[in-house]
Structures are given as C-alpha cells and as structure tokens.
Chains A and B, each alone.
Chain A
Amino acid sequence: MTQAVTLPTRRDEAYRYADLTALEPLWPVPVQDIRVAAGEHGALAVILDGANDTAQDIAITLEDGAEFDLRLLNAGSAYGRLSVTVTLGKAAKFHLGAAQIAGGDQTVEVVTQVIHAEPDAISTQVVRSVLAGHATGTYLGKVAVARGAIGTDGSQSIRAMLLDRTATANARPELEIYADDVKCAHGCAVGELDPQSLFYLAQRGLPPAEAKKLMLQAFIAEAFVGAADEEALTDTALKALEAML
C-alpha cells in the first residue's frame, strides 16, 4: 500500500508543518503494515538518527485484546517524520513514547491517528521534544473514538522544551468522539529551561551544556519509561542531546 502519488501541500493538515522540499524525493512514502493478532503483544522502536531525510509511515491494526508498544527517537541531523495510524480492537492497548531532538534548521515531526474502533481499548501517547536553533518540532495527534466504542481510555501528554527563542514547537492534540462513556485526556505544554535552575547548576561548577543536559535528561527519559530497551534508547537520546548542546 502506498499513499496518493501527488505530493501533499501545506493545505493537507497532516503536512502543514512538514519540510515539503525534503519530503519530495521520498514521496510516495511506502506504508509498513503491522497486524497484531488477538491477545498477542507487539513492540517496535523506530530510531531516526541518521544524516539523511527520512519519512516513515506505519499502519498498525490491533485485534481484540492485542497490545503494541511503539517508541520513537527522532534525533537525526536531517528531516525526520513518523506517521502512524493505529486501529484498536476491543480491549486492545497501544502506547507511543516519542522523543524528538532537533537543532539548526531541522524539522522533526510525529503524526498520529489512533482509532478506537471497539469498546474498552486504551491508548497512551507521551511525546517529548527538545528544540534548539531554528528547528521545528511537531506533534499532530488525533484520537478518534467510533460510535459504540464505550469504555475507551485515550490520553496524550505532549511537551516541548525550546532551548532558543528561535525554535518552534507545534502541538495539536485532537479528539473526535462519537461514543458516550469514554475517558480522553490531553495535556500540552511548551516551555524553556528555568534560568534560575541553570544558574544554580552553573554556580556548582557545571558548564552550560552539561547543566542543560542534566536538566533535559529526565524530560527526555519520560518518553522511554517501561520500554524493553529503555536504557539503550535513553543513552542514544542523551548522545544526540549532547551532540546538539
């Protein structure tokens, strides 16, 4: 399966903040299909840490009672995009933990569509972005609850830290609910490192880059809590952070 052959424009909501110039040679992006059978568990860690522009598109179907744990480290030195569509069956569970680290003129983005098609499914999304220079980091995430999908529990926790005033964070959590008796929560925050804390750390002898890294590591680590390869993902993220600071 591939997407439409025509290159998207800024009018397409899912591509509004994309780096279309970088996307063009990658288009059309093939869709990777993943299907998890009823009651089975699946997991995938996507690590975009190369020097080439990358776009990935994943479609995940979770049958009744299936579970999937998706992690993303979007920390390459070029355009990085992950688009994921998840369809949850009855009582299925989906978790996304994503960290995006970008500087320079880079664009990084994660676009999700989580469809609660049947009752009692749970989806959780945690996205942490650290953006410096003129970088743009985007999260566009829709949680769609179908008619009759009662007992749905969907949550989105989206946070971005801007290291420079010239960086941009876009965060758009979106809910589309056609059922009663559902629980959907979203939290969204964009901030910068507390200058008082940075001075405190500096006064104890930490150079600015080390002080920032120390403060950001806990922030980034939240994306990888509970992952099978939590330590490896966190280490790789910290290395990317170090290289950028």
Chain B
Amino acid sequence: MLNIQNLSATIADKQILKGLSLTINAGEIHAIMGPNGAGKSTLGYTLGGRPGYEVTGGSATLDGVDLFDLEPHERAAAGLFLGFQYPVEIPGVSFVQFLRESANAQRKARGEAPLSGGEFLKLAKEKAALLRMDMDMLKRPVNVGFSGGEKKRAEMVQMGILDPKLAILDETDSGLDIDALRICGEGINAIMRKPNKAVLLITHYQRLLDYVKPDFVHVLAGGRIVKTGGAELALELEEHGYEAVAA
C-alpha cells in the first residue's frame, strides 16, 4: 500500500530524513519509534505535504500513486489520513460543518456522490459513539476549548468519518490519560484494523501498542530506519533504551 524508497527531506535547508525506506502492506499495522529529533514527525508531515517540508530525494507511493505529485488535499482524497500530534484550533468553524465539507470534498475528488446532511450526521454519531464522544462537542468550533485527550479522540472521530486507506498517527497517545488511551486504541482497531487498510503509528512509548498490537516495529534514528522487528522490539526498547537496542 505505502512504498517509501530512499526518502530524503529537509526543513529550512536542514536535512532531517536521510534515505528512509519503508513498505507497508494492506492489513498491516506498523509502529515507528525513536529518540527525539530522529525525524518521526517529519516523516508524517512530509508524506502529508505540509508546507516547508521539502523532498530532496527518493519516492513515496500510495497504492502506486506518487504522493509527491499531489497537493495535500489530493493526498487526503487518495486515502491518506494524518493524525496530528497537536491538532489545530479553528475558532468560528464547527466540527460538523468542517467534517461534512471535508468528507464531501474527498468524495467529489473520487467521483462519488456527496453525503446528505442526514447521512453525514448518522455517520458522525456512529463514529463519535465509538470514541465515546458527545455529539454536542462536534457542534463546537474545531478543537477550541478541548482538552488534550478530547482533541486526540476528535482526531480518531475524524479518521472514522473520513475512512482513509492509510492512517499515519503522530503521537496519538501523548496527552492521554489511561482511559482515553484505551478508548483511542480500541477506536484505531475498530476503524483501521481491516484487510484493506493500514496504519503507521508514530510513538515514543510501548503503552499504546498494548492496545494496538503492531505487526512490525521500526526504530527511526538519524533520519533513517536503523532496525526492524516484531511487537517484541517495542518491549525491548522500553526496557533497554534506543541507544542499546539500535546501536
């Protein structure tokens, strides 16, 4: 599904990704762990097309489509979802309106019929319930006044509504209490653990992986993947640290 070859990227002329290669097949869940500053978030932003993140070499395809040929909104329509570490607050714009317009913009780009108001609300209610979120919260302005945990749960509700092929979740576990961590973990499984979907979890800690069991764990250090293993690698990292395991 996702095929990254020898990817290099810079931010403000500083080289962050240095020849990163990674293949994720449909039905798989991968976790990327690594020390601060290794380039984990940069990988997500580069694939998402955030302005300021410049690709200087290599390629990335999603189901054979070159991601770097597409604008950020076209990448979303192609099935890429980025869960933000710090979701943005947008005053004056309600979640419901924003999500309905987003979902329908994606459907339009794919040549599908738009969701009616009723269809959309039904879908939103179902996904909000999955993340134990009150529908009233989705009538409020995007992320404004939400706690850290609520923002992350709202990200998962968005993922449920937009129904992507591939989700890259950047530190979805940061800022979550124990219950919210479990709810988010269960939400990820319910929405994304399917034979035609895939997930890339970016995380610092093993704890999210207790709920969302990865098929592969990678260590990202110095802008490239330095070690790959199964779920047990995360436990090993937690116990011995990056330096010892990835050396």
Contact = CB atoms under 8 A, between A and B. Distances in A.
Interface of A: 194-197, 199-208, 210-211, 214-215, 217-219, 221
A194 B162 CA distance: 23
Given A218-B91, A219-B92, A199 B50 contact: yes
B103 A205 contact: yes
B76 A205 contact: yes
A194 B86 CA distance: 15
Interface in B54-95: 71-73, 75-77, 81-82, 84, 87-88, 90-93
Interface of B: 48-51, 71-73, 75-77, 81-82, 84, 87-88, 90-93, 97-99, 101-103, 105-106, 109, 158, 162
A214 B98 contact: yes
Nearest to B109: A205
B109 to A, nearest CB: 7
Contact of B93 (A196, A207, A218): A218
A199 B51 contact: yes
A163 to B, nearest CB: 15
Secondary structure at the A interface, as helix, strand, loop or mixed, is helix
Contacts of A200: 84, 87-88, 90
B98 A203 contact: no
A176 to B, nearest CB: 34
Given A196-B88, A210-B105, A204 B93 contact: no
A219 B141 CA distance: 13
A140 B236 CA distance: 67
18 contacts: A197-B88, A199-B49, A200-B84, A200-B88, A201-B90, A202-B76, A203-B72, A203-B82, A204-B158, A205-B103, A205-B105, A206-B101, A207-B71, A207-B105, A208-B71, A210-B105, A217-B92, A218-B92
Contacts, number: 73
Nearest to B106: A205
A210 B101 contact: yes
Contacts of A194: 88
Contacts of A211: 73
Nearest to B82: A203
A3 to B, nearest CB: 39
A204 B90 contact: no
Given A201-B102, A203-B75, A204-B162, 11 more contacts: A197-B88, A201-B98, A203-B81, A204-B98, A204-B158, A205-B76, A205-B103, A206-B101, A210-B105, A214-B98, A219-B92
Nearest to B78: A205
Contact of B73 (A196, A206, A214): A206
A112 B81 CA distance: 48
A205 B72 CA distance: 8
A99 B48 CA distance: 35
Contacts of B99: 204
Q: What 8 A-B pairs come out closest when comparing CB atoms?
A: A218-B92, A205-B106, A204-B102, A202-B72, A205-B76, A200-B88, A202-B73, A205-B102
A48 to B, nearest CB: 25
Contacts of A207: 71, 73, 105
